[in-house]
Chain A
């Protein structure tokens, strides 16, 4: 038994006290859950995507439960970057955890505007670029095309000193190719995956369950897809990978780390259990202690792929 496993990890220059972050879109602007969850138990929190102007979002219904998961089509409803800086930052500045702000928009200029405004704002540790929101037309494009993905990241790289985390969509043929292009363009880290495009139909009314017809699937249902994406990306790039998708427990976090993630984000699980993030961090520490793992860093990318000789092979 290792008594006190070292949970610290680094995302570029940013050191996190543990590898568990709250995922964007599932943690508001911090203060909502901050009413009854200790935010300092997180390695960091990622706030809801910001656009230059307040955004009304998609028509309801915006969520539907599916097998071991949920569909959403929020459509980036948010307060806009100015209200965020004015009304949300005073609270967030005093929260004792890393603050990562998620940046979104339609055209590149909108990402540029939000990034510039946030770069002037004290108290932000990193920016996550929502290159892949499935619920806003255009948002998808940036991370489905390697050229456009690189263009967006290099543009933002040129205007901010803050660490940049590129958040990628799984709705592509090869996420590894996109990951390589954003790394070359200057991303400090890659987070994956955003939600999978999905749809559900109410067969009684024959209407889609979501007002926007299709939406993004999240929750335990997508975890194997996310683990595969993280494994693929980690093999393609040198920058840290932040795994996202269906993490409900410390064991799930271990799985992502072993597959190549340096940190993880807890999303949908927080809706179910508001303390899911801190609970994942705590059970991750317990797992390390019980498994004689002195530091979570030793788990990162520690996957053992059986060689051809080792692999079970049935000869006739």
Chain B
């Protein structure tokens, strides 16, 4: 459980604009959340208008019912503002896209486990798929802001279905971070998978990657896991999950993990004699489920079963 204070805010919407087809950027004013947020943190928000002066019945105000988690993509501590990227994928994001400047959004955060910081002398690659780019915008921005590493020590490999969904890449370039693009339809960059770029990068200049981060669709992260394992590179992934509570209570957003960890909350229920180095299949038969919201969303790359 994180020791960073959890804040709940009626955050003012400062901007909410479409930055690609069905892709949005929202800026929210929430000074306390912004102040404490670190790269990898997420917020849990209510998409609809739940203000008490709403004339609708309580349950109608709460349609859709549950909060939605989003990785923090950018923060401006001076103004107390953080930004999120989202794509319309269902009822929650559809309503979020209708929220206007000046309206309030109920936000809980910052939540979850954060990234291992980038530091000088250890070049990193970040592999982003679609809106999975969000936490890496934060990570790159904070790294440059704190002077922890030079921008040249970070490489971003960013893939999406089509060029219009690669919005955000210009922010990396503005920071001086090298970005390589891939699209499924070939509209820009490499015509194919972003993980092809990772293969290519590791083959051509292996010393440019001492640590690997990945966030995106599960097949992408699974491939990153394989590549990292083969290359002997440590790293982290940032996951998402169906997350009713967001604070470690409901046990819904779990992911199966391979190795027995330190977290006592998730000890396996049987087979105390199972060897820690047992085959993956054997380890899965006595699963250890970790909460994405609390033990994650950032996990060690080889820890999760994807």
Contact = CB atoms under 8 A, between A and B. Distances in A.
Contacts of A64: 242
B121 interface: no
A127 interface: no
Contact of B288 (A56, A62, A68, A220): A56
A36 B5 contact: yes
Interface in B1-21: 1, 5-8
A8 interface: no
Contacts of A70: 65-66, 244
A72 B252 contact: yes
A141 to B, nearest CB: 20
B256 interface: yes
A108 B160 CA distance: 54
A162 B58 CA distance: 36
Interface residues of A, number: 47
A57 B254 contact: yes
A253 to B, nearest CB: 12
The main secondary structure of chain B at its interface with chain A is loop
B245 A270 contact: yes
Contacts of B256: 59-60
A72 B6 contact: no
Contacts of A61: 241-242, 252
Contacts of B252: 60-63, 72, 74
Interface string A218-255: 01100000000000000000000000001011011000
Nearest to B294: A32
Contact of B247 (A32, A65, A249, A252): A32
B76 interface: no
A54 B241 contact: no
A32 B293 CA distance: 12
Given A56-B287, A72-B250, A220-B65, A35 B242 contact: no
A176 interface: no
B192 interface: no
Nearest to B108: A274
Contacts of A62: 242, 251-254
Interface in B226-275: 241-256, 264-270
A153 interface: no
B162 interface: no
A272 B289 contact: no
Given A65-B64, A69-B65, A77-B289, A60 B58 contact: no
Contact of A57 (B1, B50, B289): B289
B247 A68 contact: no
B33 to A, nearest CB: 12
Contacts, number: 130
A268 interface: yes
B286 interface: yes
Contacts of B244: 63, 70, 72, 268, 271
A21 B132 CA distance: 39
A222 to B, nearest CB: 11
Nearest to A53: B269
Contact of B63 (A36, A68, A74, A274): A68
Most buried by A among B63, B244, B256: B244
A33 interface: yes
Interface stretch (A12-20, A22-30, A93-101, A184-192): A22-30
Most buried by A among B5, B67, B243, B247: B247
B265 to A, nearest CB: 6
A213 interface: no
B264 A87 contact: yes
A271 B66 contact: yes
Contact of B268 (A35, A54, A74, A249): A54
B289 A79 contact: no
B46 interface: yes
B264 A57 contact: no
B191 interface: no
A65 B65 contact: yes
A299 to B, nearest CB: 19
B95 to A, nearest CB: 13
B65 A77 contact: no
A83 B264 contact: yes
A273 B246 CA distance: 11
B248 A55 contact: no
Given A26-B249, A79-B265, A271-B250, 13 more contacts: A36-B7, A56-B286, A56-B288, A57-B251, A59-B287, A60-B242, A65-B64, A68-B63, A220-B65, A246-B59, A271-B67, A271-B244, A274-B108
Interface of B: 1, 5-8, 46, 50, 58-59, 62-67, 106, 108, 241-256, 264-270, 286-289
23 contacts: A26-B245, A26-B249, A26-B250, A35-B247, A36-B5, A36-B7, A53-B269, A53-B270, A54-B269, A57-B251, A60-B253, A62-B242, A62-B254, A65-B65, A77-B254, A77-B289, A220-B62, A248-B59, A268-B244, A271-B250, A272-B66, A273-B50, A274-B108
Interface of A: 25-28, 31-33, 35-36, 48, 53-57, 59-65, 67-70, 72, 74, 77, 79-80, 83, 87, 219-220, 246, 248-249, 251-252, 268, 270-275
